[in-house]
Amino acid sequence: MNAGLGIRIGTVTAVAALDTDPVTSVVKRSALDLRPGAAPSLADLWDRSTRHLISGFADRVGDPVELIDDDGRSHRAEDLYATATRALVADVSAGVDSSPSVVVTHPTRWTAYTVEVLGEALDRAGLTDVTLVPESVATMRWLEVTRGTQSDGLAVVYDLGATALDVTLMRTGSDAGVVGTGVHSQEFGGAQFDHEIMQYVLDTVSGSQSFEFDPFDPDTVGALVELRARCGEAKEQLSYDTSTSLTVDLPGLHTEVRLVRSEIEDLVRASLLASIGVVRDAVAAAGLEVTDIDQVVLTGGSSAIPLVAELVSTELRVPVVAGPRPELAVAIGAAILGSD
Protein backbone atom coordinates (compact mmCIF):
# COMPACT_ATOMS: atom_id res chain seq x y z
CA MET A 1 0.00 0.00 0.00
CA ASN A 2 1.31 3.46 -0.91
CA ALA A 3 1.86 5.91 1.92
CA GLY A 4 -0.54 8.82 2.14
CA LEU A 5 0.74 12.34 1.61
CA GLY A 6 -1.27 15.22 3.04
CA ILE A 7 -1.06 18.83 1.94
CA ARG A 8 -2.29 21.99 3.61
CA ILE A 9 -1.54 25.37 2.04
CA GLY A 10 -2.43 28.40 4.12
CA THR A 11 -2.03 32.12 3.68
CA VAL A 12 1.44 32.22 5.26
CA THR A 13 2.63 28.62 5.63
CA ALA A 14 2.38 25.47 3.55
CA VAL A 15 2.67 22.02 5.12
CA ALA A 16 3.14 18.53 3.72
CA ALA A 17 3.14 15.33 5.75
CA LEU A 18 3.93 11.77 4.70
CA ASP A 19 2.25 8.96 6.65
CA THR A 20 5.42 7.17 7.69
CA ASP A 21 6.60 6.04 11.11
CA PRO A 22 7.58 8.58 12.32
CA VAL A 23 5.72 11.12 10.20
CA THR A 24 7.84 12.95 7.64
CA SER A 25 6.86 16.60 7.37
CA VAL A 26 7.89 19.75 5.54
CA VAL A 27 6.85 23.27 6.52
CA LYS A 28 7.44 26.07 4.02
CA ARG A 29 6.42 29.65 3.47
CA SER A 30 3.41 30.04 1.14
CA ALA A 31 5.49 32.02 -1.34
CA LEU A 32 6.55 30.57 -4.68
CA ASP A 33 9.97 31.24 -6.16
CA LEU A 34 9.32 31.57 -9.89
CA ARG A 35 12.68 32.85 -11.07
CA PRO A 36 13.31 32.03 -14.74
CA GLY A 37 15.36 28.93 -15.48
CA ALA A 38 14.68 27.21 -12.16
CA ALA A 39 12.01 24.77 -11.05
CA PRO A 40 9.27 26.48 -9.02
CA SER A 41 9.83 26.05 -5.29
CA LEU A 42 8.43 27.31 -2.01
CA ALA A 43 10.52 29.64 0.14
CA ASP A 44 11.91 28.47 3.44
CA LEU A 45 9.71 29.36 6.39
CA TRP A 46 11.77 32.27 7.71
CA ASP A 47 13.15 33.44 4.36
CA ARG A 48 12.79 37.24 4.42
CA SER A 49 13.44 37.78 0.71
CA THR A 50 10.76 38.93 -1.69
CA ARG A 51 12.55 38.99 -5.05
CA HIS A 52 11.01 36.49 -7.51
CA LEU A 53 8.55 35.38 -4.82
CA ILE A 54 4.80 35.51 -5.29
CA SER A 55 2.37 34.94 -2.43
CA GLY A 56 -1.25 35.60 -1.50
CA PHE A 57 -2.61 32.89 -3.78
CA ALA A 58 -4.09 30.63 -1.09
CA ASP A 59 -6.96 33.04 -0.42
CA ARG A 60 -7.54 33.90 -4.07
CA VAL A 61 -8.50 30.54 -5.59
CA GLY A 62 -11.36 31.13 -8.03
CA ASP A 63 -10.72 34.88 -8.19
CA PRO A 64 -10.79 36.05 -11.84
CA VAL A 65 -8.23 38.78 -11.06
CA GLU A 66 -4.79 37.32 -11.73
CA LEU A 67 -1.65 37.82 -9.65
CA ILE A 68 1.41 39.47 -11.23
CA ASP A 69 4.96 38.31 -10.50
CA ASP A 70 8.15 40.41 -10.50
CA ASP A 71 8.69 39.78 -14.20
CA GLY A 72 5.24 41.01 -15.14
CA ARG A 73 3.78 37.58 -15.81
CA SER A 74 0.19 36.98 -14.74
CA HIS A 75 -0.97 33.86 -12.89
CA ARG A 76 -4.29 32.50 -11.76
CA ALA A 77 -4.27 31.89 -8.02
CA GLU A 78 -5.45 28.30 -8.38
CA ASP A 79 -2.57 27.54 -10.76
CA LEU A 80 -0.10 28.92 -8.23
CA TYR A 81 -1.78 26.78 -5.57
CA ALA A 82 -1.34 23.72 -7.79
CA THR A 83 2.30 24.62 -8.47
CA ALA A 84 2.90 24.94 -4.73
CA THR A 85 1.28 21.54 -4.23
CA ARG A 86 3.63 19.96 -6.77
CA ALA A 87 6.62 21.53 -5.03
CA LEU A 88 5.50 20.19 -1.65
CA VAL A 89 4.90 16.71 -3.03
CA ALA A 90 8.39 16.69 -4.53
CA ASP A 91 9.97 17.93 -1.29
CA VAL A 92 8.38 15.49 1.11
CA SER A 93 8.40 12.40 -1.13
CA ALA A 94 12.03 12.62 -2.24
CA GLY A 95 13.58 9.19 -1.82
CA VAL A 96 10.24 7.40 -1.46
CA ASP A 97 10.15 4.21 -3.52
CA SER A 98 6.52 4.41 -4.68
CA SER A 99 4.30 7.35 -5.53
CA PRO A 100 2.29 8.42 -2.48
CA SER A 101 -1.48 8.83 -2.44
CA VAL A 102 -1.91 12.59 -2.31
CA VAL A 103 -4.72 14.26 -0.35
CA VAL A 104 -4.98 18.04 -0.62
CA THR A 105 -7.01 19.89 1.98
CA HIS A 106 -8.97 23.09 1.52
CA PRO A 107 -10.81 25.44 3.91
CA THR A 108 -14.09 23.90 4.98
CA ARG A 109 -15.87 27.16 4.16
CA TRP A 110 -15.01 26.97 0.45
CA THR A 111 -17.90 26.69 -1.99
CA ALA A 112 -18.27 23.73 -4.34
CA TYR A 113 -17.24 26.05 -7.19
CA THR A 114 -13.96 27.00 -5.52
CA VAL A 115 -13.14 23.36 -4.82
CA GLU A 116 -13.90 22.50 -8.46
CA VAL A 117 -11.64 25.30 -9.70
CA LEU A 118 -8.77 23.98 -7.58
CA GLY A 119 -9.35 20.44 -8.81
CA GLU A 120 -9.13 21.59 -12.42
CA ALA A 121 -5.90 23.48 -11.68
CA LEU A 122 -4.38 20.38 -10.08
CA ASP A 123 -5.31 18.42 -13.21
CA ARG A 124 -3.57 21.00 -15.40
CA ALA A 125 -0.49 20.70 -13.19
CA GLY A 126 -0.37 16.94 -13.78
CA LEU A 127 -1.75 16.03 -10.35
CA THR A 128 -4.66 14.06 -11.69
CA ASP A 129 -4.89 11.42 -8.97
CA VAL A 130 -5.43 13.75 -6.03
CA THR A 131 -8.21 13.69 -3.46
CA LEU A 132 -9.59 16.98 -2.13
CA VAL A 133 -11.01 17.07 1.41
CA PRO A 134 -12.07 19.83 3.82
CA GLU A 135 -9.50 20.73 6.47
CA SER A 136 -11.93 19.92 9.28
CA VAL A 137 -12.44 16.39 7.94
CA ALA A 138 -8.67 15.83 7.90
CA THR A 139 -8.49 17.20 11.44
CA MET A 140 -11.06 14.69 12.66
CA ARG A 141 -9.14 11.82 11.05
CA TRP A 142 -6.05 12.98 12.93
CA LEU A 143 -8.14 13.03 16.11
CA GLU A 144 -9.37 9.47 15.59
CA VAL A 145 -5.87 8.10 15.09
CA THR A 146 -4.28 10.00 17.96
CA ARG A 147 -7.14 9.80 20.48
CA GLY A 148 -9.04 6.68 19.42
CA THR A 149 -12.47 6.03 17.95
CA GLN A 150 -14.82 8.89 18.74
CA SER A 151 -18.22 8.30 20.31
CA ASP A 152 -21.30 10.30 19.31
CA GLY A 153 -20.80 13.93 20.25
CA LEU A 154 -19.96 17.45 19.13
CA ALA A 155 -16.41 18.65 18.53
CA VAL A 156 -15.31 22.19 17.78
CA VAL A 157 -12.32 22.63 15.47
CA TYR A 158 -10.60 25.86 16.55
CA ASP A 159 -8.10 26.64 13.79
CA LEU A 160 -5.98 29.67 14.68
CA GLY A 161 -3.60 30.46 11.86
CA ALA A 162 -1.38 33.33 10.85
CA THR A 163 -4.08 35.67 9.58
CA ALA A 164 -7.46 34.28 10.63
CA LEU A 165 -9.46 32.04 12.93
CA ASP A 166 -11.76 29.35 11.54
CA VAL A 167 -14.24 27.64 13.83
CA THR A 168 -16.05 24.55 12.54
CA LEU A 169 -18.50 22.29 14.37
CA MET A 170 -18.16 18.56 13.71
CA ARG A 171 -20.38 15.67 14.73
CA THR A 172 -18.39 12.63 15.85
CA GLY A 173 -19.38 8.98 15.97
CA SER A 174 -22.09 7.32 13.89
CA ASP A 175 -23.39 10.62 12.45
CA ALA A 176 -20.00 12.19 11.73
CA GLY A 177 -19.86 15.30 9.59
CA VAL A 178 -19.83 19.08 9.45
CA VAL A 179 -22.52 20.93 11.40
CA GLY A 180 -23.62 24.30 10.04
CA THR A 181 -21.35 26.61 8.07
CA GLY A 182 -18.76 27.56 10.68
CA VAL A 183 -17.34 31.03 11.25
CA HIS A 184 -14.30 32.67 9.63
CA SER A 185 -12.79 35.71 11.36
CA GLN A 186 -9.82 37.78 10.24
CA GLU A 187 -9.74 39.65 13.55
CA PHE A 188 -7.46 37.06 15.14
CA GLY A 189 -4.21 35.43 14.08
CA GLY A 190 -0.50 35.10 14.56
CA ALA A 191 0.31 38.16 12.43
CA GLN A 192 -1.67 40.32 14.84
CA PHE A 193 0.26 38.82 17.76
CA ASP A 194 3.57 39.47 15.98
CA HIS A 195 2.63 43.13 15.61
CA GLU A 196 1.73 43.42 19.29
CA ILE A 197 5.03 41.82 20.30
CA MET A 198 7.00 44.14 18.03
CA GLN A 199 5.27 47.19 19.50
CA TYR A 200 6.08 45.91 22.98
CA VAL A 201 9.75 45.42 22.03
CA LEU A 202 9.96 48.92 20.55
CA ASP A 203 8.37 50.40 23.66
CA THR A 204 10.84 48.46 25.81
CA VAL A 205 13.97 49.64 24.00
CA SER A 206 12.74 53.23 23.67
CA GLY A 207 12.12 53.30 27.41
CA SER A 208 15.62 52.10 28.23
CA GLN A 209 17.59 54.00 25.58
CA SER A 210 17.28 57.34 23.81
CA PHE A 211 17.11 56.93 20.06
CA GLU A 212 15.10 58.20 17.12
CA PHE A 213 14.48 56.72 13.70
CA ASP A 214 12.71 57.83 10.55
CA PRO A 215 9.89 55.33 9.86
CA PHE A 216 9.90 56.36 6.19
CA ASP A 217 13.60 55.74 5.61
CA PRO A 218 14.07 52.63 3.40
CA ASP A 219 16.74 51.22 5.72
CA THR A 220 14.43 51.65 8.69
CA VAL A 221 11.52 50.03 6.86
CA GLY A 222 13.68 47.02 6.03
CA ALA A 223 14.92 46.80 9.62
CA LEU A 224 11.34 46.89 10.95
CA VAL A 225 10.32 44.10 8.58
CA GLU A 226 13.23 42.06 9.90
CA LEU A 227 12.29 42.88 13.49
CA ARG A 228 8.70 41.79 12.96
CA ALA A 229 9.89 38.48 11.53
CA ARG A 230 12.14 37.99 14.56
CA CYS A 231 9.17 38.72 16.81
CA GLY A 232 7.29 35.94 15.02
CA GLU A 233 10.18 33.57 15.62
CA ALA A 234 10.29 34.57 19.28
CA LYS A 235 6.55 33.97 19.62
CA GLU A 236 6.95 30.45 18.26
CA GLN A 237 9.96 29.81 20.49
CA LEU A 238 7.97 30.88 23.54
CA SER A 239 5.27 28.36 22.70
CA TYR A 240 7.75 25.70 23.82
CA ASP A 241 10.26 27.58 26.04
CA THR A 242 9.64 29.99 28.91
CA SER A 243 12.10 32.65 27.76
CA THR A 244 14.10 33.74 24.73
CA SER A 245 16.26 36.61 23.49
CA LEU A 246 15.55 38.81 20.50
CA THR A 247 18.02 40.96 18.58
CA VAL A 248 16.89 44.51 17.80
CA ASP A 249 18.91 45.99 14.95
CA LEU A 250 17.63 49.41 13.86
CA PRO A 251 19.46 52.44 12.47
CA GLY A 252 21.29 53.90 15.45
CA LEU A 253 20.42 51.02 17.77
CA HIS A 254 21.66 47.48 18.27
CA THR A 255 20.60 45.63 21.41
CA GLU A 256 19.17 42.42 22.82
CA VAL A 257 15.76 42.14 24.45
CA ARG A 258 14.85 39.25 26.73
CA LEU A 259 11.27 38.04 26.43
CA VAL A 260 9.48 35.68 28.79
CA ARG A 261 6.34 33.73 28.04
CA SER A 262 4.24 35.47 30.68
CA GLU A 263 4.91 38.86 29.02
CA ILE A 264 3.72 37.58 25.65
CA GLU A 265 0.67 35.97 27.21
CA ASP A 266 -0.29 39.30 28.75
CA LEU A 267 -0.07 40.90 25.30
CA VAL A 268 -2.32 38.38 23.54
CA ARG A 269 -4.70 37.44 26.36
CA ALA A 270 -7.43 39.95 25.45
CA SER A 271 -7.41 38.86 21.80
CA LEU A 272 -7.58 35.19 22.71
CA LEU A 273 -10.46 35.77 25.11
CA ALA A 274 -12.31 37.66 22.38
CA SER A 275 -11.66 34.81 19.93
CA ILE A 276 -13.68 32.47 22.12
CA GLY A 277 -16.66 34.62 21.20
CA VAL A 278 -16.25 33.26 17.66
CA VAL A 279 -16.81 29.76 19.03
CA ARG A 280 -19.97 30.91 20.78
CA ASP A 281 -21.15 32.58 17.56
CA ALA A 282 -20.61 29.37 15.57
CA VAL A 283 -22.48 27.30 18.13
CA ALA A 284 -25.39 29.75 18.24
CA ALA A 285 -25.55 29.90 14.42
CA ALA A 286 -25.96 26.12 14.36
CA GLY A 287 -28.87 26.33 16.80
CA LEU A 288 -26.88 24.70 19.59
CA GLU A 289 -25.68 25.62 23.07
CA VAL A 290 -22.13 25.83 24.40
CA THR A 291 -23.09 23.04 26.80
CA ASP A 292 -23.54 20.77 23.76
CA ILE A 293 -19.80 20.88 23.05
CA ASP A 294 -17.95 17.71 24.07
CA GLN A 295 -14.42 18.78 23.10
CA VAL A 296 -12.42 21.43 21.29
CA VAL A 297 -9.65 20.43 18.87
CA LEU A 298 -6.89 23.00 18.36
CA THR A 299 -5.16 23.30 14.99
CA GLY A 300 -3.13 25.99 13.27
CA GLY A 301 0.30 27.28 14.19
CA SER A 302 -0.92 29.99 16.56
CA SER A 303 -2.78 27.39 18.62
CA ALA A 304 0.62 26.25 19.87
CA ILE A 305 0.61 29.18 22.29
CA PRO A 306 -0.06 27.42 25.64
CA LEU A 307 -2.46 30.14 26.75
CA VAL A 308 -4.85 29.18 23.93
CA ALA A 309 -5.62 25.76 25.39
CA GLU A 310 -5.82 27.19 28.90
CA LEU A 311 -8.34 29.90 28.03
CA VAL A 312 -10.47 27.75 25.73
CA SER A 313 -10.76 25.06 28.39
CA THR A 314 -11.47 27.54 31.19
CA GLU A 315 -13.98 29.69 29.32
CA LEU A 316 -15.92 26.87 27.64
CA ARG A 317 -15.45 24.29 30.41
CA VAL A 318 -14.71 21.46 27.99
CA PRO A 319 -11.72 19.19 27.29
CA VAL A 320 -9.21 20.56 24.80
CA VAL A 321 -7.21 18.35 22.42
CA ALA A 322 -4.02 19.52 20.70
CA GLY A 323 -1.01 17.78 19.25
CA PRO A 324 2.57 18.79 20.06
CA ARG A 325 2.64 20.75 16.78
CA PRO A 326 -0.90 21.94 15.94
CA GLU A 327 0.24 23.34 12.59
CA LEU A 328 0.80 19.76 11.37
CA ALA A 329 -2.52 18.23 12.45
CA VAL A 330 -4.45 18.91 9.23
CA ALA A 331 -1.69 17.67 6.92
CA ILE A 332 -1.12 14.56 9.05
CA GLY A 333 -4.84 13.80 9.06
CA ALA A 334 -4.90 14.17 5.28
CA ALA A 335 -1.90 11.84 4.97
CA ILE A 336 -3.70 9.23 7.07
CA LEU A 337 -6.74 9.55 4.80
CA GLY A 338 -4.43 8.91 1.86
CA SER A 339 -3.22 5.70 3.49
CA ASP A 340 -6.72 4.49 4.39
- Residues 25-68: tens digit of each pLDDT: 999 999 999 988 889 999 998 877 777 899 999 999 999 999 99
Q: Report whether 31 contacts 54 (CB < 8 A).
A: yes
- Which residues, at least 6 apart from 169, have a Cβ–Cβ distance to it below 8 Å? 154, 155, 156, 157, 178, 179, 180, 182, 282, 283, 286, 288
Per-residue pLDDT of 90-138, as tens digits, reads 999 887 878 899 999 999 999 999 999 999 999 999 999 999 999 999 9
Measured between alpha carbons, how far is 272 from 309 in angstroms, rounded to an integer?
Answer: 10
- Domain locations in the chain as residue ranges: 4-137+331-339
Tell me the mean pLDDT in the region 79-85: 98
Is pLDDT of 211 > 70? Answer: no
Predicted pLDDT at 253: 87
Cis peptide before 36 (omega within 30 of 0): no
% the chain with pLDDT above 90: 84
Q: Report whether 170 contacts 179 (CB < 8 A).
A: yes
Pairing of strands 67-68, 53-55: unpaired
Residue 215: closest CA among 198, 232, 191? 198
Predicted pLDDT at 210: 61
Element (H, E) at 42: strand 41-44
Q: Which CATH architecture has domain 4-137+331-339?
A: 2-Layer Sandwich (3.30)
Q: Report whether 297 contacts 155 (CB < 8 A).
A: yes
- Which residues, at least 6 apart from 291, have a Cβ–Cβ distance to it below 8 Å? none
Q: What are phi and psi of 131, to 5 degrees?
A: -100, 135
Predicted pLDDT at 338: 97
